[in-house]
């Protein structure tokens, strides 16, 4: 009896997996060449406003050292 | 913490020994945190010294295993949580009610990240079953799944445009997955890197990927070229978490050496 319910559970689970996979297989995909071109153009566009990429002038940098290091 | 003066502003003690997740509310008025206590608690922030923050604590989420990650959605009113019980869940903060649960991972869910757009209602989660899954928050359905990592996925982060996401894993690689092409498009790895990546984040433009590793270093990868730009030393124990600041001028890394370091 228990083996029968176990196999029914497995079947139900397998059916769900198949359904999920069918759903995933049917989504619309674009070509990687187009996707990567889009990623590249996004990077180019925003590169100017990225402080970690293009750097900011030291006068504006809130993290720059305020006092010189004195060695005692 | 105040990151410019390095002063500790508030400390909140939690009843459990490990706090594994914390998040700021979008308004900056509350924080959510949780860990081995299986719950996510929200604390309203107050700068009044006479108020005891712990007294106003509200328990929002209840899982059957540890809480590994939490994040507010676009508003202060909803929280998304990921747990060691293999599920993610969306909760209403006011009532503490479960709005939606997401089942599908075969093992502990270690991380999650929300899609960046204001109207976005998808999020990605990564787990110990080596899968990264993208979910629709309204229906609770898994929309896409990616299973190319060879070990637990420790961290996932959306690319700034929202069309891709990166993941860091115990298999010592970081990978970039494109959502519209529905596949992995880049791997960031080197033979000399053998320790897992615990945390990843993108710079503002998405050109740089910062990844903290268990070998105490942070590697900076060029997202488009797939090559390493630089390696940052400084921590004395494994780097467990890493985040770029919202204005993109610096990023902060937290480590098992009890320090948080801000890199600019």
User: Which chain B residues are Cβ-neighbours of A38 within 8 angstroms?
Assistant: 161, 163, 180
Q: Which residue has the tokens 């604590």?
A: B57
Interval B45-78: pLDDT, tens: 766 655 555 566 777 778 888 888 888 887 778 8
Q: Using the predicted structure, report yes or no on whether residue B119 has a pLDDT greater than 70.
A: no
Bridge pairing between strands B39-44 and B58-62: antiparallel
> What confidence score (pLDDT) does residue B155 get?
92
* More confident: B54 or A48: A48
| Residue A65: alpha-carbon gap to chain centroid | 34
Computed over every residue of chain B, the mean pLDDT equals 84
DSSP string computed for B89-157 = EEEETTT--EEEEE---SS-EEEEEE-SSTT--EEEEEETTS-EEEEETTT--EEEEE---SS-EEEEE
Least confident of B6-10, B25-29, B118-122: B6-10
Which residues of A1-72 form beta strands (DSSP E)?
none
Instruction: Find the mean pLDDT for residues B133-144.
Output: 88
Contact A42 B160 (CB under 8 A): yes
Q: Is B50 helix (H, G, I), strand (E, B) or coil?
A: coil
Binned at pLDDT 50, 70 and 90, residue B251 comes out as confident
Contact B185 A36 (CB under 8 A): yes
The ipTM of this complex is 0.72
What CA–CA distance (Å, rounded) separates B102 from B137? 8
Identity of the residue in A23, A32, A47 whose CB atom sits nearest the CB atom of B205: A47
> What confidence score (pLDDT) does residue B169 get?
92
Identity of the residue in B143, B183, B204 whose CB atom sits nearest the CB atom of A46: B204
> What confidence score (pLDDT) does residue A64 get?
65
Domain boundaries, chain A: 4-58
- Residue A2 C-alpha, separation from nearest chain B C-alpha, in angstroms: 23
Q: Go through the domains of chain B in sequence order and give each one's CATH number.
A: 1-103 (2.120.10.30), 106-141+149-169+191-263 (2.130.10.10)
In CATH, which superfamily holds the domain spanning A4-58?
Transducin (heterotrimeric G protein), gamma chain (4.10.260.10)
Measure Cα distances from B52 to B4, B13, B27, B44, B46 in Å: 25, 11, 20, 10, 9
Instruction: Find the mean pLDDT for residues A40-50.
Output: 83
């Amino acid at each position: 009896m228990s083996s029968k319910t176990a196999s029914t559970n497995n079947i139900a689970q397998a059916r769900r997996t198949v359904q999920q996979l069918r759903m995933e297989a049917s989504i619309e995909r674009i070509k990687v060449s187009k996707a990567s071109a889009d990623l590249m153009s996004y990077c180019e566009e925003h590169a100017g406003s990225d402080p970690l990429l293009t750097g900011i002038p030291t006068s504006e940098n809130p993290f720059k050292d305020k006092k010189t290091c004195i060695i005692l | 913490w105040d990151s410019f003066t390095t002063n500790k502003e508030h400390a909140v003690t939690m009843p459990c020994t490990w706090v594994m997740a914390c998040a700021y509310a979008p308004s900056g008025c509350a924080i959510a945190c949780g860990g081995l206590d299986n719950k996510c608690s929200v604390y309203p922030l107050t700068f009044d010294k006479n108020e005891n923050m712990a007294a106003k604590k509200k328990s929002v989420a209840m899982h059957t295993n540890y809480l590994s990650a939490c994040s507010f959605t676009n508003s202060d009113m909803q929280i998304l949580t990921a747990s060691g019980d293999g599920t993610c869940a969306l909760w209403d903060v006011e009532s503490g009610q479960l709005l939606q649960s997401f089942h599908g991972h075969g093992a502990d869910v270690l991380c999650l990240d929300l899609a960046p757009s204001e109207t976005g209602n998808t999020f990605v989660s990564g787990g110990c079953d080596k899968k990264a899954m993208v979910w629709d928050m309204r229906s609770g359905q898994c929309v896409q799944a990616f299973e190319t990592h060879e070990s637990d996925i420790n961290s996932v982060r959306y690319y700034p445009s929202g069309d891709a996401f990166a993941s860091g894993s115990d298999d010592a690689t970081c990978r970039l997955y494109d959502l519209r092409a529905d596949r992995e498009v880049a791997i960031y790895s080197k033979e000399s890197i053998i320790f897992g990546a615990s945390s990843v984040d993108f710079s503002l433009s998405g050109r740089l990927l910062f990844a903290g590793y268990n070998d105490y270093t942070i590697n900076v990868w060029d997202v488009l070229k797939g090559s390493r730009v630089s390696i940052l030393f400084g921590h004395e124990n494994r780097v467990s978490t890493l985040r770029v600041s919202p204005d993109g001028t610096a990023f902060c890394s937290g480590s098992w050496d009890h320090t948080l370091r801000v890199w600019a």
